[in-house]
Amino acid sequence: MVSRIHEPIGTPEKLKEAMHSPRGDAPARHPEMSPARHAASHGYNAGMESNACAPAEQARCWNLAAAAIIAVTIIAVLKLHIAPALIVGLGIFLWARWMLRLLDRGKGRWVARPLVMMMTVLIVIALGFLAQFGIQRGLDYLIHQGPGFLTQVQALVDQLRGQLPAAIGNALPTDIEKLKAIGLTTLRDHAGSLASLGREGVHAAFQLMLATIIALAAALATRVASHEQAGPLTRALAGRGEDFLTCFKALLGAQVYIACANTTFTIIYLYGILPRFDVVLPYRELVCLLTFGLGLLPVVGNLIANTLLTVIALTHSVLVAIVSLTYLVIIHKLEYFINARIVGQKIHASVWELVCAMLLMEAIFGIAGLVLAPVFYAFIKMQLKLVRWL
């Protein structure tokens, strides 16, 4: 037994060769170690390396599953036509969480939560009253200014009759009574569409209200379980959700820049280009304010502002209306590249990538797909980079 303990372990040359063997090779076997014992020891070391890599692979699988769940949810939102509710909900969630973090520093959580809830509710109610006031004033204006508006339309029709070819000009109404008859016939033929539009408006308002409640509740909710107690899928969903919010904040920042750019181009057109040709349109100040306010709404707000400006230009002449519409369409298409440029800088994506994603999702999902295309593409690319597939 004693002689076994004091046996030499090998020559110095063999010991040096074993110590300097490459890392990827199998470790040198002790001269007195049996092959079976050496294989068992080597298998144990390989098992330890495999167990060390297992958590990383599991985290990667959970991250992929969470990203797939979020991506499928966004596609379902687009297919169900509830993208406006999602956008409003995410905006309110970011606002409430930002205010909560800001007030937590000085007033404490139990004081900050009621303040944030009251502020958010008051802002939503104020926006609702402003929308109702604007719609009511618009309807009152149409009712009181109806006869004068019809006179302007008839004057415009007479002007068009002299500028258009005879085959088209003869088909236009010759007096106000015929114009009223055409309007009443159009309203009667599309009464069902107008009724469905009203129902869809009420349904959309209900969805926005639910989105507001859910977003506010999610922002003010307390964490039931700590990060260590949560399951792996919960942790992965929380991380991927933060990635999606990061992409959404990039879209909001880009939308502010787009609203400023669109307003600047409109001011240049109304106050710089048109006056050089002795054309001064009415309500220029109001158009500029509405262009900025509506420009904060992705795509839809810009379309409403462009339509308003085209109608006002149409009261001056058909040529000014056509030029205005062409100018606004060019600006609208340039916004694709402005949006892609701004968002691309924040998510490290090329302009052509985002433009292609916007065109593709617009063709598949319509305006909602166009709005969410930069966010969706940025999120997918971020997740592919996270798992090192890009």
54-73 pLDDT, tens digit each? 777 888 889 899 999 999 99
Residues 270-324: tens digit of each pLDDT? 999 988 988 888 878 888 888 888 887 776 777 788 888 888 887 777 788 888 8
35-79 and 367-386 helices, crossing angle to 10°: 170
- Give the C-alpha distances (Å, rounded to integers) separating 389 from 7, 64, 70, 382, 386: 54, 11, 18, 10, 8
Tokens 């433009």 sit on residue: 355
277 in Cβ contact with 284 (< 8 Å): no
**Residue 75: what pLDDT?**
95
Residue scoring higher pLDDT (381 or 315): 381
Confidence band of 20 (pLDDT split at 50, 70, 90)? very low
Q: Is 225 a residue whose pLDDT tops 50?
A: no
271 in Cβ contact with 284 (< 8 Å): yes
- Give the C-alpha distances (Å, rounded to integers) separating 105 from 14, 96, 98, 218, 220: 65, 15, 12, 20, 15
* Most confident stretch, 12-21, 24-33, 60-69, 145-154: 60-69
DSSP of 97-123, one letter per residue? HHHHHHHHHHH-HHHHHHHHHHHHHHH
Read off the tokens for 370: 């166009």
pTM for this predicted structure: 0.70
**Exposed, middle or buried: residue 127 (CB in 10 Å: 0-12, 13-18, 19+)?**
exposed
Confidence band of 352 (pLDDT split at 50, 70, 90)? confident
Nearest of 383, 377, 339 to residue 361 by alpha carbon: 377
Residues 165-183: tens digit of each pLDDT? 666 666 666 666 666 676 6
361 in Cβ contact with 370 (< 8 Å): yes
Q: Is 45 a residue whose pLDDT tops 80?
A: no
DSSP of 191-215, one letter per residue? HHHHHHHHHHHHHHHHHHHHHHHHH
CB atoms within 10 A of CB 169: 14
Buried b (16+ CB within 10 A) or exposed e, 52-88: eeeeeeeeeebbbebbeebbeebbebbeeebbbbbbb
Return d(Cα 7, Cα 32) in angstroms, integer: 9
Q: Torsion angle of alpha carbons 262, 266, 268, 274, nearest 10°?
A: 150
**Residue 224: what pLDDT?**
45
- DSSP H or E run through 151: helix 146-163
Q: Is 200 a residue whose pLDDT tops 90?
A: no
**Residue 24: what pLDDT?**
43
| Rg value, the chain, Cα | 33
Return d(Cα 35, Cα 141) in angstroms, integer: 97
Confidence band of 136 (pLDDT split at 50, 70, 90)? confident
